[in-house]
A and B are shown apart, each in its own frame.
Chain A
Amino acid sequence: MSSTTNETPDVTGDETGDEMHGWRKIIHTPRYRMMIFAMIGVVSMSLGRVLSGNDDLTSSGTFGVALRTAAPIALAGLAGLFAERSGTVNIGLEGMMIMGTIFAGWWGWQYGPWMAVVGGIVGGLLAGLLMSLATTTFGVNHIVAGFAINILAPGVARFMANELFTGVPGGSVTSSPGNSGSMGRFTMPFTSGGDLFGWQTPDVFGWIERQGWFILADLGGFAKGMTTNVSYDVVLTAAIFVLAGYVVWSTSIGLRLRAAGERPAAAESLGVSVAKMRHLGLAISGGLAGLGGAVLVLFANRYQEAQVAGRGFLGLATLIFGNWRPAGIAAGAGLFGYAQGITLRTSPEQVVRALLLSAAIGLGLSAVWMLVTRNFTGMGIAALIGIALFWAYYAAERPNNQLVFVTPYVVTLVAVSVGAQRLRPPAEEGIPWFKGQT
């Protein structure tokens, strides 16, 4: 994250032009805009909660669901990052996740939860290497190869499930028997009331959340949700994100990986094997996608056919929204996780109604901000949508369920389209590379 400004000079900074001076130049830097955007988000969520009286909008429970929902999507997105940064467009993420679920279900049933994690990685890795064989070694079109993986994986999974689970108590051709043992859970001591050598520590975040203070309670709910009852595979996911950011942007192997996706000819002229980097990128990609599948298996405690349910493609979307960066992917997956998460809460229609209010407030604040920055077109659009959402909040005492389910995604789309306007994919991703090519 720390290197976000110096890595791609062509997108950062100077779009401001000569006529901008002083403070207005500062507020147009991407980092500053991002901060403003985040602040508007926090304030409007908190205001929405206070004014609607629906605490579940920012409760620790909601954020906990969001985290669990986001983790597999985020892993798929990160998997996409490794493939695409090294130059391969990977639309086979869905299939790789499916391979992860079948292996995780198998090993989790046989050997326990941590082997489910290993199994998921192995399953996805195999699919990744297969795709790499096609795209990197044989130069197959990346879209075709990825699509083939997506078609192949459910068939392989069905075949394996039939061989492994049919006739076993609790298993069938569509689902594995339960995992032997559950993955442990982590609750942070002192901040969230975790146990420390059998002593129940204070629950500071929870206490703040219960006070209902403006903004503080919402942040408390967020912090508690992120640190309470978190399954260790999700903790592992968070650690992998930090590690991935470091490896890809601060190590020489990461530089080579990115070079293979940005300027393969240049990389090869400096002695980097582009093919090796692309094999490595897809192997890591497959492993991470498979791990995403394992996270699903661990949460459901079993393999279930079709349980991936499009999360691989959602991951691909977060990769693009997140501008091919780990932090962006994490934020995008978090938004999706939150959007899906609130529809899973008890009485989701009330939470969604509160979200409508928050979105209206957020757009109102954005309109004010655009007025300050003299973006009058944007201000007009934001104000209009904001008023429409406020009307929807006011008019819908009990929103129609179709609306309930679509609203979070609309809000996510709005947030994403405002937050991520200038995207830049790796320059030569998707183009097969043959050694010696110029």
Chain B
Amino acid sequence: MIKRKQMLAVAVTAALGLTAAACGGDDDATPVTEPPATDAPDTDEDMTDEDMTDEDMTDEMVDGSDLSVGLLFDITGRGDRSFNDAAAAGLDQATAELGITGNESTPTGDGDRAERLQGLIDQGNELIIGVGFLWGDAITAGAEANPDTNFAIIDSVIELDNVASLVFAEQEGSFLVGAAAALKSQTGTVGFIGGVENDLIKRFEAGFAAGAEAVNPDIEILASYITQPPDFTGFADPARGKEIAAGMYEAGADIVYSAAGASGLGAFEAAREAGEPGDVWAIGVDSDQYELVGEDLQPYILTSMLKRVDVAVFETISETAGAGFSGGVKVFDTASDGVGYSTSGGFIDDIVDQLDAFAEQIASGEIEVPVTR
């Protein structure tokens, strides 16, 4: 765990270095040739201690300039400040640090998925990553037809040798925010809103409930879903998200966790109308939503369950460029920092120790978080 964190620190520092260098270049109008090379080793030295292994070193040294990677976004694509942007960040990081060539494609609906995938295959990308479980059918078909191309899919499992299935232990991250909710709740009632009731989102509910009950066995947990599959509008309908959340606050809940994509904004809005900051809270999902909403909603975002799609994308690319692609299921969990919680806003500073204790218990396997309620 520590190793990964350090790697991340190295990566982030390097990325910052790049950014700073780029800015400097603009300001001074002087070409800056190799700023990362001067920054990164410094950081490496700072960070290197006995944990740093050969493997980590090779990761840093990976040269991906021969590798071209195709990234297939989910419907909204770049700029959604959530799921897709996280994937884009992973690709950008790989482009900057490994020198790979990234090719992106954003579908406009379910009708053009197969064509977009074929487009990236025809372009000659060695690795193609599908962001979101809705790519499942297209990638299964594409991977069967093109055994020499490597694929990866996020949030879904495809059992083919040339597909890496990148899945997250959402239940573990949800456990942590569930524990946070129970620790912070005054009323003893908390709520969960799922966008669409499929197995993926049920994992969020199961983890949230387990975490809340680990802190307070008597806590009351209200749970609702906006739509049933195959109706996926539940991920983009703030009106219904708001109605459900408002009903929960009315029924005595003071903290509501929504795993409902953009519908979650409606739940935040319901919190704002339900009470004063500090009395009612909402919990965000996937990204650090405190950083994404406007100032009017920030005082209501207690924390967010983080799902590090950027880490998954970057590590898959880095592995392909370095050691070589390997298929199979790869779980990004608490132990690998693939999931976690955010502390922006400082509202949970007082309970971070307790949450980290839970996180360690989960990482060590002492607590096994259920995937169904």
Interface residues of A (CB under 8 A from B): 61, 65, 68-69, 162, 166, 169-175, 177-178, 296, 299-302, 304-307, 309-310, 340-341, 344-348, 401-402, 405-406
Contact check, B225 vs A309: say whether CB atoms are below 8 A apart. no
User: A101–B292 Cα gap in the complex (Å)?
Assistant: 21
Contacts of B57-84 to chain A: CB distance below 8 A = 76-81
User: A296–B226 Cα gap in the complex (Å)?
Assistant: 16
Kindly report which residue of chain A lies nearest to residue B249, judged by CB atoms. Answer: A346
Provided the pairs A169-B295, A307-B237, A348-B224 are in contact, do residues A300 and B265 lie with their beta carbons within 8 angstroms?
yes
Kindly report which residue of chain B lies nearest to residue A165, judged by CB atoms. Answer: B79
Contact check, B239 vs A305: say whether CB atoms are below 8 A apart. no
Contact check, B243 vs A68: say whether CB atoms are below 8 A apart. yes
Residue B97 lies at the interface, judged by CB distance under 8 Å to chain A: no
Residue B242 lies at the interface, judged by CB distance under 8 Å to chain A: yes
User: A169–B293 Cα gap in the complex (Å)?
Assistant: 7
Kindly report which residue of chain A lies nearest to residue B244, judged by CB atoms. Answer: A344
Contact check, B80 vs A174: say whether CB atoms are below 8 A apart. yes
Task: Give chain A residues whose Cβ lies under 8 Å from the Cβ of B247.
Answer: 61, 65, 344-346
- Chain A proximity of B368: nearest CB distance (Å): 26
Pick the residue among B80, B222, B228, B237 that contacts A405 (CB under 8 A): B228
Task: Give chain B residues whose Cβ lies under 8 Å from the Cβ of A177.
Answer: 294
Residue B254 lies at the interface, judged by CB distance under 8 Å to chain A: no
Contacts of B173-193 to chain A: CB distance below 8 A = none
Task: Give chain B residues whose Cβ lies under 8 Å from the Cβ of A348.
Answer: 224
Task: Give chain B residues whose Cβ lies under 8 Å from the Cβ of A344.
Answer: 224, 226, 240, 243-244, 247
Pick the residue among B80, B242, B251 that contacts A300 (CB under 8 A): B242
Contact check, A169 vs B236: say whether CB atoms are below 8 A apart. no
Contact check, A305 vs B243: say whether CB atoms are below 8 A apart. no
User: A61–B197 Cα gap in the complex (Å)?
Assistant: 24
Task: Give chain A residues whose Cβ lies under 8 Å from the Cβ of B248.
Answer: 346
Kindly report which residue of chain A lies nearest to residue B76, judged by CB atoms. Answer: A174
Report 21 cross-chain contacts, Cβ distance below 8 Å, ordered by A residue: A65-B243, A68-B239, A171-B294, A172-B80, A173-B77, A173-B80, A174-B79, A174-B81, A177-B294, A178-B297, A304-B237, A306-B262, A309-B237, A310-B233, A340-B240, A346-B224, A346-B248, A401-B225, A401-B228, A405-B227, A405-B228
Q: Count B interface residues, CB 8 Å.
A: 36
Task: Give chain A residues whose Cβ lies under 8 Å from the Cβ of B293.
Answer: 170
Contact check, A170 vs B228: say whether CB atoms are below 8 A apart. no
Residue B286 lies at the interface, judged by CB distance under 8 Å to chain A: no
Task: Give chain B residues whose Cβ lies under 8 Å from the Cβ of A306.
Answer: 233, 236-237, 262
Contact check, B238 vs A307: say whether CB atoms are below 8 A apart. yes
Pick the residue among A175, A341, A405 that contacts B265 (CB under 8 A): A175
Interface residues of B (CB under 8 A from A): 76-81, 197, 222, 224-228, 233, 236-240, 242-244, 247-248, 250-251, 262, 265-266, 269, 292-297
- Chain A proximity of B204: nearest CB distance (Å): 15
- Give 3 nearest A-B pairs by CB, closest first: A170-B294, A173-B79, A300-B238
- Chain A proximity of B280: nearest CB distance (Å): 15
- Chain A proximity of B345: nearest CB distance (Å): 14
User: A171–B295 Cα gap in the complex (Å)?
Assistant: 11
Contact check, B236 vs A309: say whether CB atoms are below 8 A apart. yes
User: A169–B81 Cα gap in the complex (Å)?
Assistant: 11
- Chain A proximity of B294: nearest CB distance (Å): 3
Kindly report which residue of chain A lies nearest to residue B225, judged by CB atoms. Answer: A401
Task: Give chain A residues whose Cβ lies under 8 Å from the Cβ of B292.
Answer: 170, 172
Contact check, B265 vs A304: say whether CB atoms are below 8 A apart. yes
Task: Give chain A residues whose Cβ lies under 8 Å from the Cβ of B244.
Answer: 344, 346
User: A345–B250 Cα gap in the complex (Å)?
Assistant: 10
User: A405–B227 Cα gap in the complex (Å)?
Assistant: 7
Contact check, A299 vs B233: say whether CB atoms are below 8 A apart. no
User: A301–B295 Cα gap in the complex (Å)?
Assistant: 14
Contact check, B239 vs A346: say whether CB atoms are below 8 A apart. no
Task: Give chain A residues whose Cβ lies under 8 Å from the Cβ of B250.
Answer: 61, 346
- Chain B proximity of A58: nearest CB distance (Å): 16
- Chain B proximity of A56: nearest CB distance (Å): 9
Provided the pairs A174-B80, A306-B236, A346-B251 are in contact, do residues A300 and B243 lie with their beta carbons within 8 angstroms?
no
Task: Give chain B residues whose Cβ lies under 8 Å from the Cβ of A304.
Answer: 236-238, 262, 265
Kindly report which residue of chain B lies nearest to residue A302, judged by CB atoms. Answer: B265
Q: A346-B250, A401-B225 are in contact. List 5 more A-B contacts (CB 8 A).
A: A170-B296, A173-B79, A175-B262, A299-B242, A346-B244
User: A309–B226 Cα gap in the complex (Å)?
Assistant: 12
Task: Give chain B residues whose Cβ lies under 8 Å from the Cβ of A405.
Answer: 227-228
Task: Give chain A residues whose Cβ lies under 8 Å from the Cβ of B238.
Answer: 300, 302, 304, 307
Task: Give chain A residues whose Cβ lies under 8 Å from the Cβ of B239.
Answer: 68-69, 296, 299-300, 307
User: A300–B296 Cα gap in the complex (Å)?
Assistant: 13
Task: Give chain B residues whose Cβ lies under 8 Å from the Cβ of A65.
Answer: 243, 247
Kindly report which residue of chain B lies nearest to residue A402, judged by CB atoms. Answer: B228
Task: Give chain A residues whose Cβ lies under 8 Å from the Cβ of B236.
Answer: 304-307, 309
Kindly report which residue of chain B lies nearest to residue A403, judged by CB atoms. Answer: B228
User: A110–B36 Cα gap in the complex (Å)?
Assistant: 41
User: A309–B251 Cα gap in the complex (Å)?
Assistant: 27
Contact check, A174 vs B262: say whether CB atoms are below 8 A apart. yes
